[in-house]
Amino acid sequence: MSTGSINLGKVAVLMGGSSAERDISIMSGGGVLKALQERGVNAHAFDPAERDLGELKRDGFDRCFIALHGRFGEDGTVQGALELLGIPYTGSGVMASSIAIDKTMTKRIWRAEGLSTPAWQQVDSVQATQAAFKALGAPMIVKPAREGSTIGLTKVMDIAQCEAAYLAAAQHDAQVLCEQFIAGDEVTVPVLGSGDNAQALPVIRIVAPGGNYDYQNKYFNDDTQYLVPCGLPEGEERAIQALVLKAYNTLGCRGWARADVMIDARTRQPYLLEINTAPGMTGHSLVPMSARAAGVAYDELCVRLLQAASLDQSKR
């Protein structure tokens, strides 16, 4: 039921696409589309895997809500096409999107800026993965450098597991990342806005069955607990929010994003894992959950993000 028309022009909700996260993107996009339409926005579904992006211009779309996840949606490619078409879009621009999808490049920049992130090595073979295991120690995380949703991720406990772990990750990406495992609390922090106006939303602490926050537990298992308020000491939560805001602005992100952080159980040091520039908007997704805790309903969140749609290069 519409609560009054909001004039943001003709809006395309980009969903689906051709990445490994297509199914989740369709879930996210469906939720966004329904919320926008209920708020009176002239919004339509648009699947880039089924339609040429040039049709956005031909069909008179004025702005895009990007609900695509992973490559060919969250990696700067769609953003670049929309820049050429002159159609404002939600989320980060070309450079920030292309950097953030690449976990290795993201970690290099964060480390250069003095931000804490687990030790890592990028590998291109089973032998290199075994060498990384000897250097980083057990447990070690092996994952594709440019995928999301824990796709292709393995927690390696001994060197005999390195081969299968590397091959599982390499199925999805030629670039494979080996990362030191940080034992402790897993949290995630959404950010809304841009530049000096960017704001970190409440921290969510994730408690997954068996400590395994995998694809199944992330999207389809109701046993995973999401704690917001997170239950961390107030000073610790504020420090994590400040770290994530700096990580967000360091990469030049805008609009919105969500950063994943591990807190070392022994030292309480937070470590940045990665940042998602087109986070999920499904029924299990964390940005809407955190926003709700801050008093922002799902439909209002969708409208705010759409209102902030922009281009890297304004048309003169």
Assign 3-class secondary structure to 223-262: CCEEECCCCCCHHHHHHHHHHHHHHHHHCCCCCEEEEEEE
For residue range 234-284, list pLDDT tens digits in order. Answer: 999 999 999 999 999 999 999 999 999 999 999 999 999 999 999 999 877
Q: For the chain, give every domain's residue range.
A: 10-90, 100-116+182-300, 120-180
Please give the pLDDT value at position 210: 65
Q: In this structure, which CATH number among 3.40.50.2000, 2.40.50.60, 3.40.50.20, 3.40.1710.10 belongs to the domain 10-90?
A: 3.40.50.20
For residue range 169-216, list pLDDT tens digits in order. Answer: 999 999 999 999 999 999 999 999 999 999 999 999 999 876 655 555
| SS3 state at 267 | coil
Please give the pLDDT value at position 215: 54
| SS3 state at 46 | strand
217 in catalytic set: no
For residue range 112-133, list pLDDT tens digits in order. Answer: 999 999 999 999 999 999 999 9
Please give the pLDDT value at position 316: 40
Superfamily of domain 120-180: ATP-grasp fold, A domain (3.30.1490.20)
Range 100-116+182-300: architecture per CATH: 2-Layer Sandwich (3.30)
**Across 144-162, average pLDDT:** 89
Of 274, 290, 298, 299, which is the active-site residue? 274
Q: Which two tokens stand for residue 291?
A: 């926003």
Please give the pLDDT value at position 217: 52
236 in catalytic set: no
7 in catalytic set: no
Q: How far is CA 293 from the centre of its chain?
A: 19
Q: How far apart, in whole angstroms, are the C-alpha atoms of residue 234 and residue 232?
A: 6
Q: Which two tokens stand for residue 77?
A: 């490619």
276 in catalytic set: yes
Q: How far apart, in whole angstroms, are the C-alpha atoms of residue 67 and residue 249?
A: 21
Task: Tell me whether domains 100-116+182-300 and 120-180 share a fold.
Answer: no
Of 219, 248, 271, 298, which is the active-site residue? 219
**Across 41-68, average pLDDT:** 97
**Whose CA is closest to 93, among 189, 177, 25, 195?**
195
**Across 217-236, average pLDDT:** 81
Q: How far apart, in whole angstroms, are the C-alpha atoms of residue 8 and residue 288?
A: 21
